[in-house]
Chain A
Amino acid sequence: MADKNQKIIDQAIDQEYKYGFTTDIEQTKFKPGLDEEVIKKLSKLKKEPKWLLDWRLKAFKRWKKMEEPTWAQVKYDPIDYQALSYYAAPKKKVNESLDDVDPEILETYNKLGISLNEQKRLEGVAVDAVFDSVSIGTTFKEELAKHGVIFCSFSEAVVNHPELIKKYLGTVIPASDNYFAALNSAVFSDGSFVYIPKGVKCPLELSTYFRINASNTGQFERTLIIADEGSYVSYLEGCTAPMRDENQLHAACVELVAHKDATIKYSTIQNWFAGDKDGNGGIYNFVTKRGRCQGDNSKISWTQVETGSAVTWKYPSVIMQGDNSVGEFYSVAVTKNKQQADTGTKMIHIGKNTKSTIITKGISAGEGQNTYRGAVKILKDAENAQNFSQCDSILIGDKCGAHTFPYIDVKNPTAKMEHEATTSSIGEDQLFYCNQRGIKLDDAVSMIVNGFCKEVFEELPMEFAVEAKQLIEVTLENSVG
């Protein structure tokens, strides 16, 4: 039995990564290296105001004095930041209209199953497509504009809505927040910007699709979402990258601000290239995501399905500042082969009657290492704060690992905290039971794993829940014997 398990686990490792192709296009790319000149050049190229350049340069100064964090349960070779290029963009001029986009790039997105053609659009979803360092187009802008919703690339927002950018940029994740956030603040190239006006329920799901294509290039996007009073938005990001032998750095920042009575639902399906079976190549995904429930009765909900990346370092967090505000974090993280994930959340309770929920599902197969790291902080004035945390891990095979590091810091005695954690193997008895009913091994594994992830999948928008399920099935095919 053990030998058979091993054999089938080994087979799983030869799994093809479906999105590993590259797009052959002419591109403008900076020479590798990072200094103030590179940042100035980038800022100029983007026609940025002086205050933004200054903000970048200040972040760069801070970054140079900072040290790369080592506390995460991940191991990787040192990154040579001078060997990376900090800007790569398709040469063909990107214009207002999607009609002007290089057909090669449209074809790339078609292959990824993302149609930028509005006629063939995904039902009820507006897409911003980010290709390497630039946004190449956003669909449904006009329809959204009718409702006063702004959904555009970050660069465009800097030009067209500088007052909003200036007001909010760096207010949730300060430029000096951490090593990777500081780097991002210095060199971020593009990303998405969303503003939902007062009282508007955004009529479409908004989504950004990130594609890393160029080699030896870091992707540093920045997303900023503002939900004004009483508004609602559901936003989804998807990510893929070609298979390359070298590791590629992705250091993004996502800032969310929810005003009084507003709700932001942010979902991620992360499927970056994870490296090959020997752990060569793959994306280093070092991402800072944080939301602030600024007004009373506001809500921010993070849902993530993490299946890709060689190394993941990511802790989507919520600061519950307004009274009665709500923070949620739902996560499924899958690691196989030599993938490593250190992911979790921070829930910071400041306002009264604030409530947070954390539900995480870690799945480890092959030699994957999966770590949950979460902090719940109840500050002094957070009367009647409540947190519920549930962290479950499942192990497939005997070479993988699951680790849980919950940190709890309570400064107000009225707080209610609940924490549950389980680790289990996919039981031989569960597999036997399914097999005995005629259900094949692969189907049994995906059934058991999907059941295990159910609470999180239920949080995803409908179309993406199906995608997430399939992704998990493909990822775990043949991982048990």
Chain B
Amino acid sequence: MIKIKDLMASIEDKQILNGINLNINPGEVHVIMGRNGSGKSTLANVIAGNEAYEVEKGSILMNNENITEMSIENRALNGIFLCFQYPVAIPGVSMAYFLRSALNAHLEHQGKEEIDALEFLKNSKKILNELGLDDSFLKRAINDGFSGGEKKKSEILQLLSINPKLAVLDETDSGLDVDALRTVAKGVNKFKNKNNAVLIITHYQRLLNYIKPDIVHLMIDGKIVKTGDMSLVEKVENDGYSWLEK
């Protein structure tokens, strides 16, 4: 689904990614773990096309199409979805208006008709219900005054509504209590199927107690230094990352 080759990227002339190679197939759940500052979130942002970062070398292919130079919205429309670590507030813009605009942008891109208001409401309420959120959530201004848990649930609501091909979860587990963590995990598990893929970026094992990854990568200084299975997660929980450094 997504092939990242030898990717190097920087922000404000500071080199962050030092040659990332990553290949995610449909149906797979990948995890990238690493210390603070190892470049995990940068990778998420570069995949989404955040223009604050400069790609210096390498390429990102999405379904064999080179998207390295593609605009943010076109990547999104081609199926890349980023669950933000810190979703930004847009005062005065209701969740419903925002989500419907986003959905319609996707539908238009797929050559489909816009979703009518009733159907939109019906679908959204169903998802809200599953996430334990009240219907009134749709009327609130997006992320404005949301609690930490509400922000992340809002991201999952959008993930389930838009139903992309690749979901990149950037530290979606941070700042969540156990109940919220379970709800978020339930949402992600509901999303994943054999045709889409999930990339989880995290510090901790705790989300992985609920979402089982197929492949685990460890990242140090902007490079993936080790790839393996779930046992790597346990090793990191017990021993940290220093054993990976020479």
Q: Is the CB of B52 within 8 A of A450?
A: no
Chain A residue at minimum C-beta to C-beta distance from B74? A438
Nearest B-chain residue to A431, judged by Cβ: B72
Interface segment out of the listed B85-93, B179-187, B227-235:
B85-93
- CB neighbors of A among B71-105 (8 A): 71-73, 76-77, 81-82, 84, 87-88, 90-93, 97-98, 101-102, 105
The verdict on A440 contacting B105 (CB below 8 Å), with A432-B72, A448-B93 known, is yes
Known: A433-B87, A451-B93, A452-B92. A1 touches B73 (CB 8 A): no
Query: What are the residues of chain A within 8 A of B98 when measuring CB–CB?
Result: 434, 437, 447
CA distance A1 to B51 in the complex (A): 7
CB-based contact B88/A433 at 8 Å: yes
Bound: A435/B84 CA distance, A: 13
A432 and B71 CA atoms in complex are apart in Å by 10
Q: Is A148 an interface residue (CB 8 A)?
A: no
CA distance A454 to B34 in the complex (A): 42
> Does A452 lie within 8 Å of B91, measured CB to CB?
yes
> Contacts A435-B76, A451-B141 known; A430 to B101 CB distance under 8 Å?
no
Complex Cα–Cα for A390 and B185 (A):
41
Whether A453 is near chain B, meaning CB under 8 Å from some CB there, is yes
Contact B90 A438 (CB under 8 A): no
User: In the assembled complex, which residues on chain B have CB atoms less than 8 Å from the CB atom of A430?
Assistant: 88, 90
- Determine the distance from Cα of A326 to Cα of B50 in the docked complex, in whole angstroms: 48
Q: Are B88 and A451 in contact (CB under 8 A)?
A: no
Inter-chain contact A1/B72, CB cutoff 8 Å: no
Least CB distance, B167 to chain A, in whole angstroms? 12
A123 at interface, CB cutoff 8 A: no
Shortest CB–CB separation between residue B62 and chain A, in angstroms? 14
Q: Which residues of B contact A428 (CB under 8 A)?
A: 51-52
Whether a CB of chain B sits under 8 angstroms from the CB of A429 is yes
Taking a contact as CB atoms under 8 Å apart, the answer to whether B102 and A437 are in contact is yes
Answer whether A451 and B90 are a contact pair too, CB < 8 Å, given A439-B105, A440-B73.
yes
Task: List, in ascending order, chain B residues with CB within 8 A of A440's CB.
Answer: 73, 105
Smallest CB gap from A458: residue in B = B92
How many residues in B have their beta carbons less than 8 Å from beta carbons of A? Answer: 29
User: Is A473 an interface position by the 8 A CB rule?
Assistant: no
Separation in Å of the B164 CB from the closest CB of chain A?
A: 9
Q: Nearest chain-B residue to A361 (Cβ)?
A: B92
Judge if B106 is at the interface, Cβ distance under 8 Å: yes
Asked if B93 and A439 make an inter-chain contact with CB atoms under 8 angstroms apart, the answer reads no
**Residue of B whose beta carbon sits closest to that of A454:** B92
* Chain A residues bordering chain B, tally (CB within 8 A): 24
B-facing mask of A439-450, CB < 8 A → 1, else 0?
Answer: 111010001101
CB contact list, B84-143 vs A, under 8 A: 84, 87-88, 90-93, 97-98, 101-102, 105-106, 109, 141
A10 CB within 8 Å of chain B: no
Is B68 located at the chain interface by the 8 A CB criterion? Answer: no
- Asked if B219 is at the interface of the complex by the 8 Å CB criterion, the answer is no
Distance between Cα atoms of A438 and B98 in the complex (Å): 11
Q: Which residue of B lies closest to A1 (CB)?
A: B51
A438 touches B73 (CB 8 A): yes
A205 is an interface residue with CB less than 8 A from chain B:
no
Compute how far the CA of A384 lies from the CA of B71 in the bound complex, rounded to whole angstroms.
Answer: 56
Please judge, given known A-B contacts A437-B105, A438-B76, whether A429 and B88 are in contact too, CB under 8 Å.
yes
Q: Are B73 and A439 in contact (CB under 8 A)?
A: yes
A440–B50 Cα distance when bound, in Å, is: 14
B48 located at the interface, meaning its Cβ lies under 8 Å from any Cβ of chain A in the complex: yes
Ranked 6 nearest A-B pairs via Cβ? A451-B92, A451-B93, A454-B92, A437-B102, A435-B72, A438-B105
Interface residues of A (CB under 8 A from B): 1, 427-430, 432-441, 443, 447-448, 450-455
Given contacts A435-B71, A435-B76, 20 further A-B contacts (CB under 8 A): A1-B52, A427-B88, A428-B52, A433-B87, A436-B48, A436-B49, A436-B73, A436-B81, A437-B101, A437-B105, A438-B76, A438-B102, A439-B73, A447-B93, A447-B97, A448-B93, A450-B92, A451-B90, A451-B91, A454-B92
